[in-house]
Chain A
Amino acid sequence: MANVQFNSIFKRYGQVEVLSDVGIDIKDGEFVVLVGPSGCGKSTLLRMLAGLETVTAGTIAIGQRDVTHLPPRERDVAMVFQNYALYPHMTVADNIAFPLRMMGFAKSHIRDQVTRAAEMLGLMPYLARFPRELSGGQRQRVAMGRAVVREPDVFLFDEPLSNLDASLRVKMRGEIKQMHQRLGTTMIYVTHDQVEAMTLGDRIVVLRSGRVEQIGTPLELYNKPVNSFVAQFIGSPAMNIFEARPAADRGLAIEDMLLTDLFPLPHPLPENPLLVGIRPHDIELTPAKTSDALSGVVVLVEEMGNMSLLTVQSGSSYVQVEAPSPSSLATGAPVFMRPMKEKLHFFTE
């Protein structure tokens, strides 16, 4: 087990900068999720930690040991790849045993360790099979077994569940979480799925265009996003973001809505349009138009079972609102929406 430090990491491919001044401090035994849209640099960062990518500038330390220029085998990390990367010419047992063989352990020790990992992951009946004879979930388990068996300082996961179907993804997500609780080893997990990030991570690092946008616990990111990007990325359905104009009485105007007595507002108000965010479940539907309500027309009704998700067009904005299920509103119905003032988020970017 070990802590991990990324110190001012830069990565360039020619003129293209894919990571810029990334600094992350991960505590021993912590489960940290790197999340962000495609191309944000999260996988590159993970591969740099594994030693599969070189670092243009900055340093990486594992357990106070500078590993920036060490080859992968000297970093004591284990990695589960997005595409499993199982050795197709080896059986399940040989796949799991491979890292131990490379480390030069005795055959009896390797056999014991493989059995232990296989029992933990429910792979005992499949030890003699080849990867091509396994289902997607079983292959994923073998990849995890290969990582677990060597008891590394740090586990790395590069979107390990993205090739599984939805139900299996939820099941494997639980197993990874349980594995972390059982082993207590530092784990770094890359995903573009914010639900995975929220459910798995002790802390989440949100990346965009090679820069860290915010680091925090899932609830910190959900409740106190630092900008509109994080606000929209974390939480499902995504937060509604509006451009607001300053108005009288410490207020803001959004479309045909006027919100007054708003505190705290950024002071002084920015010259750029102020962005106001509100989550879909923090908006009330009202029967009549009031000054602090937005008017709009329902353009889409999505029944989710536990609630209905309405998409409403209000002026040039589209707003998502949660309503009780089944919805009494149909497409084309006029609605009035009042955001809860205390649930508003204010952003300058």
Chain B
Amino acid sequence: MTAPSPGMSASPLALALRMSGIVVLGLMVLFPIYWMIVVALTPTGFGRQITTFLPQTITLDNFVSLFTARPMARWIGNSIIVATLSSALSLVFGVSCGYALSRLRFRGASLLLIAVLATQMMPATSIIVPLYMLFRSWGLLDTMQGMVAGHISLVVPLAIWMSKGFFDSIPRDLEHAARIDGCTHAGAFFFIALPLAAPGLAAIFIYGFVTSWHDFLFSHTLVTSQELWTAANGIASFRGEYFTLQEMQMAAALVFALPVVIVFFIMQRWIVSGALAGAVR
């Protein structure tokens, strides 16, 4: 006999409590975004005078100003370049290291994995100073390449761990079968292991993209030229010493959030469960 679902056996009071809990949680998550939209649609300088939950005057001037008075398009473009390159390269490094750690048996493999994880445990603020010194001596300061390299150092450790986990979950016999069926080691990797790890790779790409996109510390420290600013730098520039352009900042924040949402929706279909169902047993 199957157990009744929790919803079926719950009393109306418990159901009401549960629903109100969900509503409260939803409000907590969504209200800041709603307020961001309200402030972004308010004319510049009137953000602090809002007295109701609904905007009294709606304007798109803030969004227009972002792209006319400020180089928002360039900042977004820089962010897209840095996030795409750093997440793609992190994926390449992560997948190759993760696959090797998953499939090859060698002395010190466990130690290497722990060492990789240990680097992830360091707060970014603690590695930014040595990284700054290294990049200065290598001539990578205030360059796009330097920023990409910095972001890769943030993403790669977890990318290695994640990809190792995904490859571990793929039965080795699938690659063995492919090698008997005529593949080389590399062929078995490209034809079998890689397609099966695609959902995992999509997750790693999204993780890398979001990490790089949201980073402020590295881009703020490693880059000084305004033409190389990422969007995170750009948004911070609306905050002055004595005055903050809240309305434009919120409009910029909305524009800033959009690409990540788009990337997530595009990659979402790859993140499906049960990709391996039927492979073995």
Contact = CB atoms under 8 A, between A and B. Distances in A.
Interface in A55-78: 71-73, 75, 77-78
Contact of B278 (A51, A71, A98, A131): A131
Contact of A72 (B174, B180, B196): B180
A130 to B, nearest CB: 6
Contacts of B178: 87, 98, 102
Interface in A114-161: 130-134, 136, 139, 146, 150
A102 B281 CA distance: 25
A51 B179 contact: yes
B241 to A, nearest CB: 56
Interface string B122-144: 00000000000000000000000
A52 interface: yes
B173 interface: yes
Contacts of B240: none
Contacts, number: 89
A99 B182 contact: yes
A75 to B, nearest CB: 8
Interface residues of B, number: 25
Interface centre among B179, B181, B192 (most CB of A within 10 A): B181
B173 A89 contact: no
Interface in B235-281: 274-281
B186 to A, nearest CB: 12
Nearest to A82: B173
Contact of A89 (B177, B179, B183, B275): B275
A83 interface: yes
A12 to B, nearest CB: 15
B277 A73 contact: no
Nearest to A52: B176
Interface in A83-113: 83-89, 98-99, 102-103
Interface residues of A, number: 33
B180 A77 contact: yes
B183 to A, nearest CB: 6
Contact of B174 (A73, A85, A132, A150): A85
Contact of B280 (A75, A84, A146): A84
Contacts of A163: 281
A81 interface: yes
Nearest to A75: B180
A297 B198 CA distance: 64
Given A88-B276, A89-B275, A99 B281 contact: no
B218 to A, nearest CB: 37
Nearest to A50: B180
Given A88-B174, A88-B279, 9 more contacts: A52-B176, A73-B179, A81-B176, A81-B280, A86-B279, A89-B195, A89-B275, A98-B181, A134-B278
Interface of B: 171, 173-174, 176-184, 187, 191-192, 195-196, 274-281
8 contacts: A72-B179, A72-B180, A75-B180, A87-B178, A88-B278, A89-B196, A102-B181, A131-B278
